[in-house]
Chain A
Amino acid sequence: MTFVKPAFRHPGMPKNKIGFRKSDYEGAISTLCAGCGHDSISGAIIQACYEMGVEPHKIAKLSGIGCSSKTPTYFLGNSHGFNSVHGRMPSIATGANLANRDLIYLGVSGDGDTASIGLGQFCHVLRRNLNMVYIVMNNGCYGLTKGQDSATADFGSISKAGSVNPFQPIDLVGLSLELGATFVARSFSGDKKQLVPLIKAAMSHPGFALLDILSPCVTFNNNAGSTKSYDYVREHIEATSTLDFVPEQEEITVEYEEGSSSSVVLHDGSVIQLQKLSPYWDPTNRDSAVNCIQQAKSKGEILTGLLYIDPKSQDLHHILETTEKPLNQLREEELCPGSAALDIINASLR
């Protein structure tokens, strides 16, 4: 997503199949640090929704608290949004979805929001197979509170304050597979080519779809020794003595073939190794997904792509046997049993 949005839009801008322009899926101008991976993901969401041709007002976007959770302001300006409290977006999404099964629910969360304070709600919304897209913008740290380790920070990485992370990271993809998720994918914020189709697939999935997306924080993973360090930023912070100083960076993007692996150099010069699933990958096999993730991990690689999908997935409404008609559209006449029924109840209580 561009930092400065042009006010003028070409009238000849192409429209999608339902007659909306791409600009109809955009939101307010981002206030995140320039170069933040989260903005790239916002861009991919816009692209996916445009390509899908969904009506913007049929999408509800929900989030918790954090830089990542701010992003719903920056896409789908014609959709209702809900920036809830830290780590509790899943319960808001659950209630919203129960009230109206006809909308698409797009949840955005950070790794702190999901894997720390919100881990409980994350596990349970997944277990219930709520029909929603759940995007984790995973940067291994807390952005908004300035760089503390999150629960997905790598073991041995050094935080901004200089302490070595002595804890094992929570792998949200592994955890999700373990908990019985029906759609699990991992990607990288800069790989739009992979990300856009994954988001589209997730939106079509009738159940809980996890997208764990690596999304570098250009500002707070700046310490030497971090697996996502960024010395350059720190130099500038020190030079200006402004803690909030954020250098403008270009988004990192990457393009590589399925089945191949690719090294991605982060802003700090550190390298992550992405391994894209081969085109022959069978995403309906949970066991092999678990195995491959483990194998990739031991090679120091991060496996990306659609890792697992259950084609027979049935969502929470199916389990609860609720009406086809959304609950929020049932009217008084359909809900209130009336005084005659109450008279019978009263009589039974005498």
Chain B
Amino acid sequence: MMSTSVVNDMVIRFANVNGTGSASANEMFAKAIFRMGIPVSPKNIFPSNIQGLPTWYEVRVSEQAYLGRRDGVDLLVGVNPQSYAKDIASIKEGGYFVYDSTKKLHPDYIREGVHYVGIPMMQMCMENYDNPRHQQLFKNIVYVGALAALLDIEIEVLQDIIRGQFRKKEKLIPPNFKALDLGYQYARTHFECPLEIRLERRDNTGDQIMIDGNSATGLGAIYAGATVAAWYPITPSTSVVKAFETYAKKLRVEEASGRKKYAIVQAEDELSAMGMVIGATWNGARAFTATSGPGVSLMSEFIGLAYFAEIPVVLVNVQRGGPSTGMPTRTQQSDIISSAYASHGDTKHVLLFPSSPAECFEMTADAFDLADRFQTPVILMSDLDLGMNSHMSPPLKWDDKRKYDLGKVLSAEDLEKIEKYGRYLDVDRDGICYRTIPGTHPTKGSFFTRGTSRDEYARYTEEGAVYERIVDRLIKKWETVKSYVPAPELYQDHQQNERGLLFFGTSTYAALEAMALLRQKGIVLDALRIKAFPFNATVEEFLASHTEVFIIEQNRDKQFRSLLINELETDPKKLVSVLNYDGMPITADTIIQQIMKQLPATAPVMNTNHKSKTL
């Protein structure tokens, strides 16, 4: 039996009822695996409602650190009869169904090829806890205990996590231990443990951490020196500002006075949130907002103002399923176009595409520097999958030598030296002008900020030639941006392959896995991971030097492909889309299938190993 067992490679899914406190038990499960040194990737799959309806939590365990989603469930913990039929159907042939056998399972649910592991969870809780809320809560811990036995999770690791979690409420530790033990012992005495899928301690997680993208983003804003956050609640971005607040309370309070070195305003809507950001940055503070698609739509008028009046703005867009209210609790990358060109008239905005929490942190900090340097909106293009799920990630890094790049801001002394200040004068001929902050100098440097056309001295004008001069300068500035945004990452052998793969953001997890698996089939692709818009020269070269480039994106309309075609001199015919837009994170399988369909029957074989490098 042990010889056929699968170690450290599985998908475990929990089918819960929203609002029953299962989230922390599920997280504890994932964290325990992580602490055993085994790469793990958990995902929340939840409906857009608050209570009572089905909700899922899925954990992929992969010794090779394939951290994208994978279809097919190896073991399902089903505690929600409402979704039994669907849940049982999702289990792979030979997989396991762990369920609460307090009530007998209806014969309709018996599926051949699935192993049934019944544990009377509720009954055990009724016998051991008298408060109904506790009976409900500890049921979750009971199944974690059972899984520990079934999958061979080290119980001490789980106990450690419980101890850490209830550091400040020690009274809760013994009843949690007890629930853990109830499940563990029951499984041990009633089933042959471990199952054929099991876990074994490894050392494959290094110094990595587990954090969700939104927390890393909020923390990035703290490190970047943001002092004003204005926002309006919307899934899946809400936790960005929440994280900012949590960390700010710890890290940004004046010791002596207890006063805050930050201000957070929950605005009345997204229009207002963006207005507050613009007002604050116009006045020399670093400010940001976080939202999702519908919020970006509402902010668009203001984003255009910031672009044209040249005001730094940092906007975090945690994308969800559109259009309209779409699938608010599902993931997509479908705001590419609406973010890149947000607002009326000729506008373009800097986009950054993080693909891990570490990048959320780093790119958020970059976003503030870029916004200040170029006096323009910068949008961090996260998504629900990255933002709301915990991910294994390299540790967050901050270089203490790093200095904020506040861009071209004139001080009172600078102004003294200037004969005649012009807000929109291209003094350095790089398209970036000098700004002044209100209140700097009694007689010099004041100017009028407006969304209407104006000349180099910020004076209103509708003269065509002047207008053209100003908007052409904005393009010059845009060209300069290209060499400042994070460069793409190239995955290529020492020699070039014929076909290329292009991806960005959260598709990275599945893309890297797909590349590895394709390689096993003898199909080797060069790959480029794009980290920012505007695209720098490498992107154009990559497209030019490959006969065919597959572009992975998670939307219906090939928005990223459109952006490439729109912005670069490239032949659209060779850009082949690999798409996924069902609201679930893309899988390696989906990518492989779509690529294979496009390939001729015999594909070239290469045997070298990819090395990634940042260009």
Contact = CB atoms under 8 A, between A and B. Distances in A.
Contacts of A95: 228, 230, 275-283, 285, 287
Contacts of A97: 279, 283
B109 interface: no
B210 A98 contact: no
9 contacts: A55-B442, A73-B448, A80-B438, A81-B450, A83-B449, A84-B305, A95-B285, A327-B280, A339-B400
Contacts of B403: 332
Contact of A83 (B252, B443, B450): B450
Contacts, number: 222
Contacts of B267: 91, 124
Contact of B449 (A82, A320, A342, A350): A82
A204 interface: no
Interface of A: 55-58, 60, 62, 72-73, 77-85, 88, 90-100, 102-103, 120-121, 123-124, 128, 317, 320-324, 327-330, 332, 334-339, 341-342, 345-346, 349-350
Contacts of A332: 225, 403-404
Interface residues of B, number: 73
Given A85-B305, A91-B271, 18 more contacts: A73-B448, A79-B438, A81-B448, A83-B448, A91-B276, A97-B279, A98-B280, A100-B283, A100-B438, A321-B260, A323-B261, A328-B227, A329-B284, A334-B261, A336-B223, A337-B251, A345-B396, A349-B210
A93 B441 CA distance: 20
B247, B395, B403, B452, most chain A CB atoms within 10 A:
B395
Interface string B207-242: 111110000000100111101101000000000000
A193 B452 CA distance: 35
B345 to A, nearest CB: 13
B565 interface: no
B285 A98 contact: yes
B397 interface: yes
A334 B209 CA distance: 27
A324 B257 contact: yes
B35, B441, B443, most chain A CB atoms within 10 A:
B443
A323 B257 contact: yes
B261 A327 contact: yes
Interface string B439-458: 11111001111111000000
B347 interface: no
Contacts of B439: 57-58, 60, 80, 100, 102-103
B228 A88 contact: no
Contact of B442 (A78, A82, A336): A78
B254 A100 contact: no
A209 B439 CA distance: 21
B567 to A, nearest CB: 27
B437 interface: yes
Nearest to A317: B263
Contacts of A339: 397-400
A108 B512 CA distance: 55
Contacts of B287: 95, 99
A73 B450 CA distance: 11
Contacts of B285: 95, 98-100, 327-328
A342 B447 contact: no
Contacts of B269: 120
B169 interface: no
Contacts of A78: 442-443, 446
A321 B258 contact: yes
A95 B228 CA distance: 8
Given A60-B438, A324-B259, A121 B275 contact: yes
B272 A124 contact: yes
B460 interface: yes
Interface in B165-210: 207-210
